[in-house]
Amino acid sequence: MAKVACYVACVILLIGITWSVVHWNSPSTLEIAEKAAATGDNEAAIHAFRLHLTRFSEATDVRMKLAKLLVAVDSAESVEHFRLIPQGDANYQKALRQIALICLQSDRSAEALDVLLQLETLDPDDFAVQLSLAELYFHTENFKDALPRAVHAATLKPERSETWLLIAEIRDGLRQKPEMIVPLQKAIELSPDSYKAHLNLSYAFHAAGDLSGAATEARWCLQRNPDEVFALQILASVARDEGRFDDAAAGVKKALSLAPRNVDCRILEADLLLYHRKPKEAYARLKELHEEHAETYRYLGSLARAAAASGHIDEARQIHLALDGLRSEANRMIPQVSP
């Protein structure tokens, strides 16, 4: 009996020695994974990382690597792995940033927002986080929350002209058009050839009553793009505001030759006709667009006044009813002052 036991022990020892000899220099799963990742064999790397993590689940560095590799393959699983990085871990903030990035890239705005707000708490001066939050809020038309983030982002990295453009667009959303001017001027200072900034500045100047500024910026755009309808429209508006009605009419005519169904140009055209006491013509020109702009507030407002002035009283009444509906909707969207 003792001989048998001794024999078994020897066999086990022999197997152990053989295993050790065979595997002494063979790589670990982690090494396999790292090697595969380094050679671009992501599939093998992912497999090996997963294998490693089945045994060493607390290895957050490895989990980060796996999650990063998974972004391109399976973003949902990638997010799951990033989420497993515990708070307090050195990789926690990086993981959150990755989750935010994935969510932003995959249009998962709600998740992105949640994560970005966590990141904002961890580091309020993280430029990327502030900018991302600003952009996210802007795209969901939450201008009120977008503004402080965009402004803070611009403070953190004032040399980035796009941030100033974003601030201007947020101000526009907040119906603070005159407040667009300063950030747009800043954007132009940083990127003198920014067409978008010049065009928006023209619009902002006009909204603020600075007619010469509006005209200067519109002309800058037209020098680069003579067919810029928006710039033509602003120049025509400036001419109208300065009492140069022939110039205004010529400008709007040119704009409409390029964009015959541009609603703002049509409204301007109708304005001029009404000023010249031609309400029937104004009504006819506006009426042509009714089908495509039946819910465009400013269009309906203009059509209502042209209809009333040209004797289409019942129609004017109906349009005002439609405007009431749109107005109620718009009022709901206005940020209410908190009691």
Partner 1 sequence: MSSLCREKLQSRLVGTYILAAASAFVFWPHACLAYETPLRFEDVSGEAGIDFQHRSPLTTERHLHLFMGSGAGWLDYDRDGWPDLYLGQGKAFEDEDSKSQPSNRFLANSGDGVFRDVTESARLTNTDYSMGVAVGDFDNDGFPDVYVSSYGQNRLYHNNGDASFSEIATDRHVDDHRFGSSSTWADIDGDGDLDLFVTNYLRLDKDNYPLCKHTELGKTYHSGCHPRYQKHEYDILYRNEGNGTFTDISKASGLQSGLARCGLGVIATDLDNDGNVDFYVANDTVHNQLWINDGSGVFVDDALLAGVAVNRIGQAEAGMGLAAGDVDGDGLPDLFVTNYFGESNTFYRNEGFGFTDVTSEYGLAAPSKLRLAFGASLFDVDNDGWLDLFVANGHVHTEQPAMGRNEPFAQLPQLFRNQNGRRFGDASASSGDYFGRRLVGRASCVADFDRDGRLDLAVQHLNGAATLLRNKTASVGRVVQIELVGTESARDGNNAVVIVKAGDRKITRASIGSSSYLSSNDRRLSIGVGENDVADSVEVRWPGGRKEVWHSVPTSEVHRLIEGAGSAEN
Enumerate binding residues for partner 1 (CB under 8 A): 144, 147-148, 151, 175-179, 182, 207-211, 237, 240-243, 245, 267, 271, 274-275, 277, 297-298, 300-302, 304-305, 308-309, 313, 316-317, 320, 323, 327, 331, 336-339
Q: Cβ 307 to partner 1, closest distance in Å? A: 9
Q: Cβ 256 to partner 1, closest distance in Å? A: 18
Q: Cβ 178 to partner 1, closest distance in Å? A: 6
Nearer to partner 1, 84 or 208 (CB): 208
Q: Cβ 122 to partner 1, closest distance in Å? A: 18
Q: Cβ 186 to partner 1, closest distance in Å? A: 13
Return the residue matching tokens 């100047």. Answer: 205
Phi-psi sector, 85: left (phi>0), alpha (psi -120 to 50), beta: beta
Q: Which two tokens stand for residue 273?
A: 């006709």
Burial (CB < 10 A; 0-12, 13-18, 19+), residue 335, is exposed
Within 10 Å of residue 20's Cβ, how many Cβ atoms? Answer: 9
Nearer to partner 1, 48 or 267 (CB): 267
Q: Cβ 119 to partner 1, closest distance in Å? A: 17
Helix axes 92-105, 109-122, angle to 10 degrees: 150
Which amino acid belongs to residue 309?
Answer: A
Q: Cβ 181 to partner 1, closest distance in Å? A: 8
Distances, alpha carbon 44 to alpha carbons 31, 51, 120, in Å = 11, 10, 36
Nearer to partner 1, 44 or 308 (CB): 308
**For 292, what's the count of Cα atoms within 13 Å in the CB-facing half-sphere?**
7
Nearer to partner 1, 175 or 261 (CB): 175
Distance from first CA to last CA of the chain, Å, rounded?
92
Q: Cβ 238 to partner 1, closest distance in Å? A: 9
Nearer to partner 1, 86 or 209 (CB): 209
Query: Within the chain, what is the greatest distance between any pair of CA atoms?
Result: 122
Q: Among 284, 286, 248, which Cα is nearest to 266's?
A: 286
Burial (CB < 10 A; 0-12, 13-18, 19+), residue 8, is exposed
Which amino acid belongs to residue 177?
Answer: K
Return the residue matching tokens 């992501």. Answer: 42
Nearer to partner 1, 158 or 178 (CB): 178
CA–CA distance, 107 with 122 (Å, rounded to integer): 23
Q: Cβ 188 to partner 1, closest distance in Å? A: 18
Nearer to partner 1, 2 or 334 (CB): 334
Residues 197 and 172 sit within 8 Å (Cβ to Cβ): no
- 61 phi and psi angles, rounded to 5 deg: -60, -40
CA–CA distance, 312 with 10 (Å, rounded to integer): 109
Nearer to partner 1, 98 or 132 (CB): 132
Nearer to partner 1, 3 or 277 (CB): 277
